[in-house]
Structure 1
Amino acid sequence: MAKPRISDAVGGEAVRRALATVADRDTEATAVRYLLQVLADAAPGNSVEVRVPPFGAVQCIEGPGHTRGTPPNVVETDALTWLAIATGGDTWQHAIEHGRISASGSRADLASLLPVIWDAAGTGE
């Protein structure tokens, strides 16, 4: 069974709240999961796994996939860094240079996909 999707209205509001203040854990989790969902929608596939523990992970980007064990292309970061790079508050390169992202594998460079385009107005359009 597929995970339920986060609507643009709910996700957008969570992202706005998470960026505006120190968000509670549930708001931060929803914001992270929503932006991961947006990334996976923008770059469908299963050759790269993007992990933001403890809140979520998605597979994205077309190419050779994996079915078991640790995937060959993995990106991992913390929630605050993910929120920053996914919304344009920081860049992929800057976060990599400062050790806030772990990226392994030949396809594990998300620079061209960030920031993601999300429904900042929360209108669903």
Structure 2
Amino acid sequence: MTESLALLAAVAPGRSVEVRVPPFGAVQAVAGGAHRRGTPRAVVETDPATWLQLATGRLTWDQAQDCGALLASGERSNLREHLPLVHLPKA
């Protein structure tokens, strides 16, 4: 889990969005204004299963939002262009 969050931070470097996957971790990513303390201006939060599906392309950003499994708020919180992080072969 933490490896996929680190990969997001590597492919979308920056500090304008905080991506949270509790209880496993959080990273700051995406170029733009830097967040330093307090509540970030842009936050993405989801559960571990949804995050892994997003990261591997098994679930789209829109699907996750539509079913309520993904909360994204603030400027630059749309991570569509950065996901999936890896492409897995179809099962």
TM-score where L is the length of structure 2: 0.92
Q: CA deviation at 1:83?
A: 0.4
Q: What is the CA–CA distance in structure 2 between the aligned matches of 1:80 and 1:110, rounded to whole Å?
A: 17
2:28 corresponds in structure 1 to 59
- What is the match of residue 72 of structure 1? 41
- RMSD over aligned CA atoms reads 1.2
Q: In the comparison of the two structures, how many residue pairs are matched?
A: 88
Q: Which has the larger radius of gyration?
A: 1
Q: Deviations along 1:80-121, whole A, 9 cap, x unmatched? A: 000000001110110011110010102100111100037x7x
- Provide TM-score, normalisation by structure 1: 0.68
Q: Which runs of 5+ in 2 are unaligned?
A: none
The structure that is helix-richer by fraction is: 1
Runs of 4+ in structure 1 off by over 3 angstroms are none
Larger strand percent = 2
- Aligned-partner SS, 2:20: strand
